[in-house]
Amino acid sequence: MDVIVGGGIAGLAIAWRLARSGRPVTVVDPAPCSGASHAAAGMLAPVSEVTYTEEPLLRLGIASLRMWPAFAAELAADAGAASGEPGALVDLREDGTLDVAFSADDLAVLDELAGFMDKLGLRVERLTGRECRRLEPMLSPAVRGGLLAPDDAWVDPRRVTRALRAALDRRGFALIPARVTGLLREAGAVRGVRLAEPYARDLHADRVVLAAGAWSGELADVPVRPVKGQIIRLRSPQPLLTRCVRGMVHGSHVYLVPRGDGELVVGATQEELGFDTRVTAGGVYELLRDAHELVPGVTELELAETIAGLRPGTPDNLPLIGPSGTPGLVLATGHHRGGVLLAPLTAAIVLGEQSELAALCSPERFR
Amino acid sequence: MSDVDELVIAGEKFSSRLIMGTGGAPSLEVLDQALAASGTELTTVAMRRLDPSARGSVLDVLRRRGIKVLPNTAGCFTAGEAVLTARLAREALETNWVKLEVIADERTLLPDPIETFDAAERLVADGFVVLPYIGDDPALARRLEQAGCAAVMPLGSPIGSGLGIRNPHSIELIVEAANVPVILDAGVGTASDAALAMELGCDAVLLATAVTRAQRPELMAAAMADAVRAGRLARLAGRIPRRRYAQASSPGTPLGDYYSVG
């Protein structure tokens, strides 16, 4: 039996793919679907998020983005969704990301970025301010120009984890709502996990998959640290935007992710504060201030939710997926800002279906 | 010339005259490589939104490399906030050094001279080693030195602008009058800017964005290290006077005539 530590999007995606392949799986998580997967906006945006020095991450992101439509369709079928658009269950939308700029300085940054993307062979379109506003009329008239990454997409991560649980329920799997206090080690190998009260027992496994997100570093010697992100959810009767919009305001990036039901997600701060998950006045203020600069109409919306999640950060921003070096322990963690995007690829690597990209994520690089 | 040309701030010696900032790096690994390539021995860390006790943060990177941490008060708008931030940093990091940064507005990120001076006085009285970030204002630099600051840090141009040194004359005036180290802070865009700062007589250069947001941060860090060293050597060597017309470097006289000591 495989034991998956962590019932977020990574752990559940792996569990579901394992269950589909006929392997018995147990997921252990005291509060499944409540960590970073619950806070995340769900952008599948490897193109618009590319930065210098991070081309390996781009390769992973693009590979996983391509897997998403089939992943979503199979998930919908397995979760017993009523027929309809295959992506509808998880609100998979493939209308791209629009990155906008307000000043001549930021336009120059966009131009340079466009050149970099072009060199990488990525499909992007440079738009004027008026073209941006024709695509998204609610954008501020102050928008000077933009960069459209038409291949970027997004999902609702909460719907994804809900669908994964439904699919797993239908496949038959065990979920133990317990905290794991440690790994069972025997003769240099991991043989299972120790469960906290009220279970207080050992759970033996052929293989333990550590998918505990920001908490992974508490259970094994892996270079994963929590990176706090505050994110807010606004709600309107009618969607304000038709695609993801992001922009640079006051030197920091803000993004707005629209959902079909009128929800508008605005994120996110990046803070190195350990396991602190307090929502702060400054965090919410900055998100609203920056969102208002991009889309002035946001201040009319209902402020439906404020939340802070913890991204599992690694030193090089690449995930840790694959054999840990300790027999019996496999890692599926360290996804930082890309856990939702990389979920299909993560599962494929753990199942041994993806060897070429696996090397980029290999935990070997930190040993 | 002696091989030893150390930077001394508040009695502490540094063999590198390049002070790094940590903001803007895409990842800790990229930052780590850039810091190594820069050869820096002193690096600023913004204390707002950082838990010094959290594992695996930027502070771990600095500790591992043995780089002295210079906490800064970036993001503060009032003397009150800056003093509070400095005290929290002192408690958390067990250092009484602080780079004092009090910003006037978010658009220009220019330093507020009045709040900065106010905070500097209070921090000096409280036993801090204060390194204030200021505009390129010789009068303010002098007053801060009188107030007991351990160095002054005039800007070359606004933070993150990469516009270089917009008023070299002011920087020269500050250097001329100062009895504490002058550290050029902010505005460096590329290596020649850092070299110019040193040629003007600055004792050190502080930069971050020019490296962390470069296409290849590690390479730019190495370039900055060389530039700071080259600029320093040029300053010590003494440049030739500028002339309007040419002056032949080999005036057609055999070398022997110059050195005919017999």
Which residue has tokens 């063999």? Answer: B15
| Mutant choice from B51, B103, B108 vs A, greatest count of A C-beta within 10 A | B51
Of A294, A313, A332, the one marking the end of a domain is A313
Residue A284 and residue A273 share a domain: yes
Which residue has tokens 């050869």? Answer: B39
Whether residue A87 is contained in a domain is answered as no
Q: Is the pLDDT of residue B4 over 80?
A: no
In this structure, the number of other CB atoms found within 10 A of the CB of residue B23 comes to: 18
Residue A299 and residue A243 share a domain: yes
Among A49, A13, A12, which residue's Cα sits nearest to residue A28?
A12
Residue A328 and residue A230 share a domain: no
Nearest Cβ partner for B49 among A272, A275, A314: A272
Active site residue B99: yes
Q: Is the pLDDT of residue A157 over 90?
A: yes
Q: Going by C-beta distance under 8 Å and a sequence separation of 6 or more, which residues neighbour residue A366?
A: A222, A223, A315, A320
- Per-residue pLDDT band at B113 (split at 50, 70, 90): very high
**Which helix (DSSP H) or strand (DSSP E) does residue A315 occupy?**
none
Residue A131 and residue A173 share a domain: no
CB contact under 8 A, B26 and A51: yes
Whether residue B159 is contained in a domain is answered as yes
Distance CA A305, CA A199 (A): 33
Residue A173 and residue A34 share a domain: yes
Residues of A within 8 A of B105 (CB-CB) are: none
Mean pLDDT of A153-161: 96
Q: Is the pLDDT of residue A119 over 90?
A: yes
The predicted structure's pLDDT at residue A44: 97
Q: Which chain A residue is nearest to residue B160, measuring alpha carbons? A: A251
Mean pLDDT of A125-149: 96
Q: How do beta strands A145-149 and A125-128 pair?
A: antiparallel
The predicted structure's pLDDT at residue A248: 85
Q: Is the pLDDT of residue A83 over 70?
A: no
Whether residue A70 is contained in a domain is answered as yes
Residues of A within 8 A of B213 (CB-CB) are: 52
Whether residue A85 is contained in a domain is answered as no
- Residues belonging to chain B with any Cβ–Cβ distance to chain A shorter than 8 Å: 26-30, 32, 49-51, 53-58, 106, 160, 213-217
Distance from CA of A3 to the nearest CA of B (A): 27
Nearest Cβ partner for A273 among B30, B49, B215: B49
**CA-CA distances (angstroms) from residue A29 to A23, A96, A171, A204, A289?**
19, 34, 19, 16, 36
Q: Is the pLDDT of residue A86 over 90?
A: no
Q: What is the DSSP string of B205-220?
A: EEESHHHHTSSSHHHH
**Are the beta carbons of A264 and A301 closer than 8 angstroms?**
yes
Q: Is the pLDDT of residue A149 over 90?
A: yes
| pLDDT tens figures, B170-219 | 999 999 999 999 999 999 999 999 999 999 999 999 999 999 999 999 99
In this structure, the number of other CB atoms found within 10 A of the CB of residue B44 comes to: 24
| pLDDT tens figures, A322-342 | 999 999 999 999 999 999 999
SS3 state at B74: coil
Find the CATH number of the domain harbouring B204. Answer: 3.20.20.70
Find the CATH number of the domain harbouring A6. Answer: 3.50.50.60
Whether residue A88 is contained in a domain is answered as no
Residue A260 and residue A139 share a domain: yes
Whether residue A49 is contained in a domain is answered as no
- Per-residue pLDDT band at B3 (split at 50, 70, 90): low
Domain of A286 in residue numbering reads as 95-151+225-313
The predicted structure's pLDDT at residue B253: 57
Residues of B within 8 A of A51 (CB-CB) are: 26
Q: Is the pLDDT of residue B1 over 70?
A: no
Residue A308 and residue A166 share a domain: no
In this structure, the number of other CB atoms found within 10 A of the CB of residue B144 comes to: 28
Whether residue B1 is contained in a domain is answered as no
Whether residue A258 is contained in a domain is answered as yes
| Mutant choice from B22, B28, B48 vs A, greatest count of A C-beta within 10 A | B28
Whether residue A52 is contained in a domain is answered as no
Mean pLDDT of A217-224: 95
Least confidently predicted of A18-27, A244-253, A304-313, A335-344: A244-253
How many domains, chain A?
2
Distance from CA of B109 to the nearest CA of A (A): 10
The predicted structure's pLDDT at residue B262: 45
Residue A351 and residue A334 share a domain: yes
**Are the beta carbons of A180 and A193 closer than 8 angstroms?**
yes
Find the CATH number of the domain harbouring A295. Answer: 3.30.9.10
Q: Which chain B residue is nearest to residue A228, measuring alpha carbons? A: B49
Phi then psi dihedrals of residue A151, to 5 deg: -90, -10
| pLDDT tens figures, B62-101 | 999 999 999 999 989 999 999 999 999 999 888 999 999 9
| Mutant choice from B22, B27, B161 vs A, greatest count of A C-beta within 10 A | B27
**Are the beta carbons of A152 and A96 closer than 8 angstroms?**
yes
| pLDDT tens figures, A42-55 | 999 999 999 999 99
Residue A117 and residue A14 share a domain: no
Whether residue B256 is contained in a domain is answered as no
Residue A342 and residue A239 share a domain: no
Q: Is the pLDDT of residue B38 over 90?
A: yes
**Any idea what DSSP says for residue A296?**
G
Residue A303 and residue A261 share a domain: yes
Buried b (16+ CB within 10 A) or exposed e, A43-62: bbbbbbbbbbbbeebbebbb
3-state SS string for A223-273: CCEEEEEEEEEEECCCCCCCCEEEEEECCEEEEEEECCCCEEEEECCCEEC
Nearest Cβ partner for A271 among B27, B28, B49: B49
Distance CA B170, CA B11 (A): 26
Q: Which chain B residue is nearest to residue A286, measuring alpha carbons? A: B106
Q: Prior bond to A198 cis, omega within 30?
A: yes
Assess A84–B contact: CB distance below 8 Å, yes or no.
no
Distance CA B119, CA B81 (A): 9
| pLDDT tens figures, A18-31 | 999 999 999 999 99
Q: Is the pLDDT of residue A122 over 90?
A: yes
How many domains, chain B?
1
Domain of B146 in residue numbering reads as 9-241
Residue A145 and residue A243 share a domain: yes
The predicted structure's pLDDT at residue B52: 80
